[in-house]
Structure 1
Amino acid sequence: MDTATQIDHLKQLFKSQKAAFNKSPFPDYRKRLNNLNKLKSLLLDNQQQFIEALNKDFGNRSADDSKIGDILTSVSGINYNISNLKRWMKPEKRHVSVLFQPAKARVEYQPLGVVGILVPWNYPVFLALGPLAAALAAGNRAIIKMSEFTPNTTALLTKLVTSHFDEDEVSVVGGEAEVASVFSSLTFDHIFFTGSTAVGKLVMKAAAENLVPVTLELGGKSPAIIDKKMSIKTAVERLILGKTLNSGQTCVAPDYILCPKGKVQELSDELANSFNKMFPGINENNDYTSVVNDGQYNRLINLIADAKAKGASVRELAINPECQKSRQLPLTLITNISNDMTVMQEEIFGPILPIIEYDTIEQAISYVNDRDRPLALYIYSFDKKLQQQIIKQTHAGGVCINDAAFHVAVDDLPFGGVGPSGMGSYHGEEGFKTFSHAKSILSRGKISFTPMLFPPYGTFIHNLVYKLFIR
C-alpha cells in the first residue's frame, strides 16, 4: 500500500469511527468488559506469534525480553482494568456547601470519543495495548499508528485486531513519517504519543491546531544515584536488569550513574562481573537483544566514538567481534565524562552507561536539577532520610528506590513524565481518567432558593449571604 493510499485509508477509518461513536457515545459496563476480554484473548492466544514477530523486527529480540517487557506487562494492565472497571465507572459524589443547598453534586466519567495512539518501536506491543486497554475501559474507540521500524509486529497486530474488533471500534495502521504527520493532524478527541521529545513537540504542535488534548510519554536522561554508604554490589544487582533489558532500548532505563567519588573502578568491575554472568557471550546469544536497526546501531557507535575523541575512557563489558553483523552491542561504560560529549546531551536509548563521580549528595542533586527533568530517577540507598532528601529536592516523572524500571509495571502507579519528559499519565485509574471527560453535574430538585438571589440587589438576603460567605 503506497503512502497516498495509506493516508486515504486512515482518513476513512477516522470518519467511520467518529460516526460509530456518535451513534453509541456511552458504552455500558458489559460492552467495555467484553472489549477488554477480547484484547486479553488476542494477546494470550498469540504469544508465540508476537515473540516471533518481535524477534524478526529486532534481528534478535530475546524471547524473555518480549515476555517481560511486552506480554506480561500488557496482560497485567488489562487484568487490572477488568478488575477495577465497575468501580471506576461509578459516578463520584461531591460536596455541596450550604450556600448552594438543597442540591446534589457528582462527577460522571464520559468517554472522550475517538483516540489516536502513536506507538514507538522499542516495546511495540505494550505501548500499543497498554494505552488501548485504558481507552477501551473508558469507553472510547481507537486508531493505533505503529512504527515503521516494526513491520512484522505491525502486520500481526493488524491481522489480530481485525479478527477481534470491528474496524470502527479499533484499527491499526502503519506507514512512514508522512502518515504519522497526517495522523497527528486529525481531529481526534485525544492523542496519546510515546516517543522522543523532538517528535513529541511536532505531535503537540499539530494537535494544537485543532485544540486536541495530548498525553506525551517522552524520555530523557534518567539518573541513578548511588549513596556513599550503599554496597556497590547491591546497587549493581538492583539496577543492571533495568539497563540491559531490551539492550537498554527502554525509555526508563538508567541513562547515567552518579557514583560516590573513589568508587568508580569498583562500580565498573562489579558491572562487568554482573553483565558477564548474565551474558557470558553476546554474539548470537538469544538472551541478548539486538539494537533494532542499522540507524540506531550507528547512532550508538557514534556516541561512543565522540566520547573517546573528547577524552573519555570506554570499557566494553563483553568482547564481540561480530557485533556489527548482529547489532548485539555489549554494555559499554564511559568514564572521565565531560558535558560537551554528545552522550551527555541526548537520551542514550541503548547499552551505553556513563559514570560520573560526585563528592556530596548535594552536588549529585544539583547535577540532576541543572538538566531537563527526567522520566525516571533511581536512588540506591537504605538511608530513608537521604531517600527523602533526593525525592523532595528533585523532579522526575517517577522514582524507584533500590530498583530500576519496574515502577512502570506496577498497575496502580500512574506513569508519565514531567516537563521535557512528558505530560499527562496513564496506567490504572489514571489511565481511565486520561481517556475520560470528568463531567461535573449539579442537580436540584423541586425546591430551590436561587430566586432569592435575583435582582434587585441590596436586599436583606443579599447582605446576609455576603456577610456569611465573603470572609
Structure 2
Amino acid sequence: FKPAKATPLKGLVEQMLEQAGFFPGWVQIIYGQGGKIGDALVDQQPDKIFFIGSQTVGKRIMSLAAKHLIPVELELGGKDPMIVFDDINIDRAVAGAIWGAFTTTGQSCTSVERLFVHADIYDQFKQTLIRETLKLTQGTDNDGNADIGAITTSSQVEEIARQVADAKKKGADFLTGKDWDGTTAFVPPMVIEGVTRDMLIDQEENFGPLLPIYSFSSEQEVIELANDPVYGLSASVWADDLKKANRVARQIYTGNVSINNVMLTEGNHALPFGGVRKSGFGRYKGEFGFYAFANIKAVLIDKNSKKMEANWFPYTSRKYRLFSNLTHALYSPGIWSSYIKGAIHGLRLESYVGKLAKKGRNNAK
C-alpha cells in the first residue's frame, strides 16, 4: 500500500493492524515519490492494482499494468453535482450544500462542486446560502471549534489560485471569499455565480472550497447540465417528490447518488463505491468490493457414471437430426408444448447415445 506523499500518517494503518493481530507482513506501507515508487510497484507484477488519484496518474498506471496484463481498478476525480428542486426544505438543503462543498475545505473527491437550484427558489436559496456560508469559522482548530481548516499542500493552493484567477478574468461573480489573496493556505469558502462552460472551475475538478451555483428550469435541462463534464463519481438529488428524485438519479452518469443527503453513499460500508466515464471504473466496498479483490473461479461437478454425454464423439447424421429436433422443440412457441416436445426428443437422443456407447463397448470386446 503506497499512500500519497502528503499523507504519511497512513503508516499508522500498518501499525494498528499488527497490534490487532492481523497477519504480520500482509499489509506493507511504502513511502516515496509517486513516479518512481509507483513504477517499481507495478514492475513487481502484483495480482491486482487499485488506485485512487488523478486521471494523469491513473492512465500511466493502466499503461504500465497493460504490459503485464495486470487487472486495474481506478477511482479518479469527480465533478459532483448537487441538484435541488423547488419542493425541498430550503434550510436543510442549504446546510447540506455547505457541508458537502466545504467540509475538509473541499478536499474530497465526492464534495459538491456544482450546485444546481431550481429557478423558482434560486434567489431565496442563494441568499440563505451566502448568509450561512459567512457563518463558517476557519482556523487551525486548536480549540476544536473551527468548521474548516487549511488546504493541505502548496501545490493545491496554486491549483485553486489558477482556477479562481481564470474565473474572475472571465466574469464570474464571487459572492463570498472574493478577497482571498491567492497564496494563503486558508482558502475561504467561495460561493460563485455566473460560471460559464469555458471556465476552468466549471470543467476541472476543484479540490478546494469552491462552490459554483447555477439555476435550472426543468428536469431535462438539469440532467444535461449535470452530465456535461466527463466525470461521473458522485451526485445528490434533493426533492420532496421521491419518484422525481429517483427518476433524475437514474439518468445521471455517475457511480453513486444520494437522495436528500450528500456524500452519504461512501459512508455506507455495505454499498459499492466507484465511478464511471473519466472518474474511473470498478467498485470497492460491500459485496461488490469483495468480488473486486477476489479471483472468481467457476467449478462444475458432475456425477461419476458410465453415461456418455450426447455432445461427445462419435458424430453421426442421425445424432445431428436428433439434436436439431431437440433444439427446435425447446425454443418453439408455447411453454408447455416446448417442454413436452423437448422431453420427447431428449429421450430419443438419450436412447440413441446409449446405443452408440453400447455398440462401442461391444466393438472393443
Shorter-chain TM-score tier: 0.7 to 0.9
| Selected match of 1:283 from 139, 142, 166 | 139
Matched residue type, 1:197: Q
Tell me the CA shift for residue 186 of structure 1.
Answer: 3.0
Q: Does 1:225 align with 2:83?
A: yes
Residue 465 of structure 1 corresponds to 323
Residue 356 of structure 1 corresponds to 214
Q: Does 1:147 align with 2:7?
A: no
Matched residue type, 2:5: E
Q: Is the 8 A contact 1:369 1:394 kept in 2?
A: yes
| 1:90-118 Cα deviation digits (max 9, x unpaired) | xxxxxxxxxxxxxxxxxxxxxxxxxxxxx
Q: Does 1:247 align with 2:105?
A: yes
Runs of 5+ in structure 1 lacking a partner? 1-143
Tell me the CA shift for residue 187 of structure 1.
Answer: 0.8
Helix, strand or coil: the match of 1:172?
coil
Matched residue type, 1:172: I
Aligned pairs for 1:14-413 within 5 A = 144-151=1-8, 153-157=9-13, 159-160=15-16, 168-177=25-34, 178-261=36-119, 263-277=121-135, 279=136, 281-285=137-141, 286=144, 287=146, 288-316=148-176, 325=184, 327-413=185-271
Matched residue type, 1:174: Y
Q: Is the 8 A contact 2:82 2:236 kept in 1?
A: yes
Change (3 A) 1:317 1:305: closer
Change (3 A) 1:242 1:450: farther
Structure with a larger share of its residues in strand: 1
Q: Distance in 2 between matches of 1:417 and 1:149?
A: 24
| 1:217-255 Cα deviation digits (max 9, x unpaired) | 112211111113323322112333222221111111111
TM-score, L = length of structure 1: 0.63
Helix, strand or coil: the match of 2:274?
coil
Change (3 A) 1:203 1:465: same
| 1:155-180 Cα deviation digits (max 9, x unpaired) | 54455556666664221101002112
| Greater Rg over alpha carbons, structure | 2
Tell me the CA shift for residue 192 of structure 1.
Answer: 0.5
Change (3 A) 1:466 1:233: same
Change (3 A) 1:165 1:156: same
Change (3 A) 1:148 1:270: same
| 1:188-210 Cα deviation digits (max 9, x unpaired) | 10001111222211111111111
Helix, strand or coil: the match of 1:145?
coil
Matched residue type, 2:89: S
Residue 24 of structure 1 corresponds to none
Note the aligned Cα RMSD (angstroms): 2.5
Q: Distance in 1 between matches of 2:96 and 2:228?
A: 26
Tell me the CA shift for residue 317 of structure 1.
Answer: 5.5
Q: Is the 8 A contact 1:282 1:328 kept in 2?
A: yes
Tell me the CA shift for residue 318 of structure 1.
Answer: 9.5
Helix, strand or coil: the match of 1:316?
coil
Q: Does 1:456 align with 2:314?
A: yes
Helix, strand or coil: the match of 1:442?
coil
Matched residue type, 2:33: E
Structure with a larger share of its residues in helix: 1
| 1:61-112 Cα deviation digits (max 9, x unpaired) | xxxxxxxxxxxxxxxxxxxxxxxxxxxxxxxxxxxxxxxxxxxxxxxxxxxx
Aligned residue pair count: 323
Relative contact order, higher structure (CA 8 A, sep 6+): 1
Helix, strand or coil: the match of 2:295?
strand
Tell me the CA shift for residue 355 of structure 1.
Answer: 0.8
Runs of 5+ in structure 2 lacking a partner? 332-365
| 1:310-368 Cα deviation digits (max 9, x unpaired) | 000012259888x955x222210111111111111211121100011222221111122
Q: Distance in 1 between matches of 2:22 and 2:178?
A: 46
Matched residue type, 1:350: G
Residue 43 of structure 1 corresponds to none
